[in-house]
């Protein structure tokens, strides 16, 4: 097993992705390197939660963190979302992170596993009740199939 040293913990620096010496940590690049070099790690996490800055934010991040894990050559991801508008936000959140899992898996030459969504405070606003009932009354359409036509050079080179 290979072990990488990423510098000191950012727990007290106040800014996620910022080391005490002021240098930035690119969490996505770090995740990609971890998946390629140590796919069995239980620490492949991207965090948006910034305790040192919460009091300065208009709203704390809803998508607090997500974690990747590899089992049997398949990449899975779990998102913890502290707060979620179920009618408007959740479908978009699921689609976005599912796409991310496909992109990351492609870059790491892994098969796609599962996307697991965990919600802390999930809510349905009263002004969405009518639209929610209408949506639930509709016959579901067949699930779409995602096809990524090319493999870009890096996770940052995808274009839509």
Per the annotation, the verdict on 77 as an active-site residue is no
Q: Which residue has the higher pLDDT, 2 or 38?
A: 38
Residue 80's alpha-carbon distances to 63, 94, 117, 119, in angstroms, are: 6, 12, 6, 6
Q: How far is CA 28 from the centre of its chain?
A: 10
What is the DSSP-derived secondary structure letter of residue 142?
P
Residue 24's pLDDT band (cuts 50, 70, 90): confident
Looking at residue 158, what DSSP letter applies?
Answer: -
Q: Which domains does the chain have, with CATH numbers?
A: 3-7+18-137 (3.30.572.10)
Instruction: Out of 62, 77, 84, 108, pick the active-site residue.
Output: 62
Tokens 């839509």 correspond to what residue? 160
Asked whether residue 96 carries a pLDDT value surpassing 60, the answer given is: yes
């Amino acid at each position: 097993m290979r072990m990488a040293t990423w510098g000191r913990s950012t727990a007290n620096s106040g800014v996620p992705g910022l080391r005490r010496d002021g240098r930035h940590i690119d969490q996505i690049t770090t995740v990609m390197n971890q998946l390629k070099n140590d796919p069995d790690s239980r620490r492949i996490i991207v965090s948006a939660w910034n305790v040192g800055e919460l009091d300065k934010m208009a709203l704390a991040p809803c998508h607090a963190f997500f974690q990747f894990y590899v089992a049997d050559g398949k990449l899975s991801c779990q998102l913890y979302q502290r707060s979620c508008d179920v009618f408007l936000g959740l479908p978009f959140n699921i689609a976005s992170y599912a796409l991310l899992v496909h992109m990351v898996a492609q870059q790491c030459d892994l098969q796609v596993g599962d996307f697991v969504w965990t919600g802390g405070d999930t809510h349905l606003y009263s002004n969405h009740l009518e639209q929610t009932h209408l949506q639930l009354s509709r016959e579901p359409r067949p699930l779409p199939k995602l096809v990524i036509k090319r493999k870009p050079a890096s996770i940052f080179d995808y274009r839509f």
